[in-house]
Structure 1
């Protein structure tokens, strides 16, 4: 073994999502990124479960092993991740919609065995050139492969998040498996689509050109968020360097494995659970002192009040409450204020939403929500184009007639440009 990895991993929940459904792991022998899918169905649980299974690969390779054996280890770990998620789904059917991508690289000192399912990616940066090692298992990738759309158009396609392969515990996904020979000076990058979905190859290469692995990982996450990523963002960068002689290794400089994202968060929650999985247990009973009024330990003293006095106090008239009407008015006013604030916030949010639809047979950008309430449309035309629906291919025309939601006005303009490039081509 002549090479080793110097790595850094970072994961950010992003600017839109409430929780992080990405998980990542970086160690001396293993790099892995998993992007959970499922939202309320606990995509975070799927990705963290997969990473916890994959991280068992992070051990020095067996002597005299072959590339086929290395690939077989990766395939076995992905299969075990599938089986573990299947167990979770069987225990809780509410998780049946959960799944995760997985991009994993197993290192042996000379080469990297890669296993890949989904749309997370692995890249190799070598001699100022960037190579995408993995191939996305997505619907838009099939359109790119068929020459129907370009890479740029794929970034704004309404079905860009449709994954064709994932680890879901129900259908065994056939992973892509292959080996990449490495050399000193190489830089590896694994990421979730929160990075590669908004940064093109040129921008990724610019970031990977200089600085340490730590710097590159942080900068890729920062650049992704600045570029408008609406997803969780996870990135692992690993530099391939010459391995020092055994007697030159400083134990204090050996990097610890890094666990990031949902896998790290869920692990912390388990570590800090209370007694009996959150139950604080029973409190010890309070013991009365033996010398207290001559009572034995543990005895409860008699009620100090005379029964007649206790009865009189029980039925004694109470003073009328003061200012009851004022309290009620204040409660109503507070509730009305909260409702007004919520309505104002909802209206403000709706005015920042855009979709591309049809107004008078003309492709138009609408501001608001693509729906109605009590017969009232919750959107208004914002920008009319000179693009007629009749000029669009059948597929695009149907999509626009139904309304295609966009993240922001810039995305809407990009989508209009894509429609314009399709107009008159006759493509279905």
Structure 2
């Protein structure tokens, strides 16, 4: 029988943001990460409310199916609580949060997921991404319109199609039940990690002999080394044989502190707006998961792709024209040069330079003088065989005349 042997949770504000809008929880059976959206309008509040509500599901269940249902119900309840909070505090309108959570129940894991935080599984040295991002760019990847690499830098990568918040009363939540075995290592993280550290880097950290806390700290450091433009929250869960756990339930990020608003909405707004952003940061935001909106975004993306192709095509054409123009001008310059050399057994005047451009010769015989090389003095013959440069055609004719006058009589 498998069970949780060790776990750890950690959260860091990152290098750009001035407050932490992520929340994380590592409990007895339940583990989750919530990434708030809405900036100073409520991202931290959203993730904290959702986390504290879902934490109530950290208990024993008679079956994995019961755990899956309870986890889904907890996310729906958190969504309702967020909507009620916005109703009471209008300044928080638009806040929302992603949630990726799992409950470990002996040899099985119940999972609930919405948004773009992620759950990974390392098993027998192989890393797998268990959840699918509910983002616009993931739709493009799934439909084959862009690659995973292009999705990392896509201008719409911050658009979420599904979140908990005050928009939908019954958001669609992905749930599943998977088997787990001793030796498995689970990772739950916000996009502050997955958007900066590659899967290769994540796998290397999870494969290291470090314990759960050591792995979490290493991944935070790698995200910071990569610039950490967003908050970074990580929960690591190690599966082993039944044993007495020593780690205690841990809450990190926004959920670890009291909510930043009170009973009075105006007071809550004053508290929230007192903290100013130090640097401009790309905000994650939610858009409705509707076919019309998706079609509009896809068409906009297609227009952007067409503009990008036209720009590249024009750039390539201009580059080719520049190369051809430079080559033409260079060739014209070579044809203004002359030298005296040997053509067969006679002395000849060549037009061009003594160079070849691949299979293309940059010189040709301009005039065969009919002066036999054998008639030249030894020194002059050696000079002609090595070629004699001329500054102009007139200079080349003078050189030939001098050779003719100095030939052996």
- The equivalences for 1:18-417 within 5 A come to 18-61=18-61, 65-171=62-168, 172-210=170-208, 211-244=210-243, 249=244, 254-266=246-258, 394-396=303-305
Q: CA deviation at 1:186?
A: 0.3
Corresponding residue for residue 308 of structure 1: none
Aligned mates of 2:202, 2:4 — CA distance in 1:
23
Seen in structure 2, the aligned counterparts of structure 1 residues 110 and 393 have a Cα distance that, compared at 3 Å, is closer
**Contact 1:5/1:28 (CA < 8 Å) preserved in 2?**
no
Q: Secondary structure at the match of 1:225?
A: helix
Q: Secondary structure at the match of 1:255?
A: coil
RMSD of equivalent CA atoms:
3.0
Aligned mates of 1:260, 1:14 — CA distance in 2:
14
Seen in structure 2, the aligned counterparts of structure 1 residues 162 and 44 have a Cα distance that, compared at 3 Å, is same
Seen in structure 2, the aligned counterparts of structure 1 residues 266 and 399 have a Cα distance that, compared at 3 Å, is farther
Q: Secondary structure at the match of 1:198?
A: coil
Aligned mates of 2:163, 2:302 — CA distance in 1:
31
Of structures 1 and 2, the larger Rg is shown by: 2
Q: CA deviation at 1:397?
A: 5.6
Q: CA deviation at 1:29?
A: 0.2
Aligned mates of 2:135, 2:250 — CA distance in 1:
29
Q: CA deviation at 1:115?
A: 0.3
Q: Which 5+ residue runs of structure 1 have no aligned equivalent?
A: 271-276, 279-345, 351-391, 402-415
Cα displacement string for residues 202-226 of structure 1 (whole angstroms, at most 9, x for unaligned residues): 1110111011111110111110111
Q: Secondary structure at the match of 1:101?
A: strand
The structure showing larger relative contact order (alpha-carbon pairs under 8 Å, at least 6 residues apart) is 2
TM-score, normalization: structure 2?
0.64
TM-score, normalization: structure 1?
0.61
Aligned mates of 1:2, 1:116 — CA distance in 2:
23
Q: CA deviation at 1:399?
A: 8.1
Aligned mates of 2:120, 2:158 — CA distance in 1:
20
Seen in structure 2, the aligned counterparts of structure 1 residues 5 and 82 have a Cα distance that, compared at 3 Å, is farther
**Contact 2:2/2:180 (CA < 8 Å) preserved in 1?**
no
Q: Secondary structure at the match of 1:46?
A: helix
Q: CA deviation at 1:201?
A: 1.1
Q: CA deviation at 1:116?
A: 0.3
Cα displacement string for residues 360-411 of structure 1 (whole angstroms, at most 9, x for unaligned residues): xxxxxxxxxxxxxxxxxxxxxxxxxxxxxxxx9732366899xxxxxxxxxx
Aligned mates of 1:206, 1:239 — CA distance in 2:
16
Cα displacement string for residues 312-332 of structure 1 (whole angstroms, at most 9, x for unaligned residues): xxxxxxxxxxxxxxxxxxxxx
Cα displacement string for residues 52-100 of structure 1 (whole angstroms, at most 9, x for unaligned residues): 0111111122xxx233222101111001101110110110122121000
Q: Secondary structure at the match of 1:266?
A: coil
**Contact 2:134/2:161 (CA < 8 Å) preserved in 1?**
yes
Seen in structure 2, the aligned counterparts of structure 1 residues 2 and 158 have a Cα distance that, compared at 3 Å, is closer
Aligned mates of 2:68, 2:224 — CA distance in 1:
34
Q: Secondary structure at the match of 1:237?
A: strand
Aligned mates of 1:110, 1:229 — CA distance in 2:
35
Seen in structure 2, the aligned counterparts of structure 1 residues 125 and 2 have a Cα distance that, compared at 3 Å, is closer
Seen in structure 2, the aligned counterparts of structure 1 residues 394 and 80 have a Cα distance that, compared at 3 Å, is closer
**Contact 1:113/1:180 (CA < 8 Å) preserved in 2?**
yes
Corresponding residue for residue 359 of structure 2: none
Q: CA deviation at 1:5?
A: 3.8
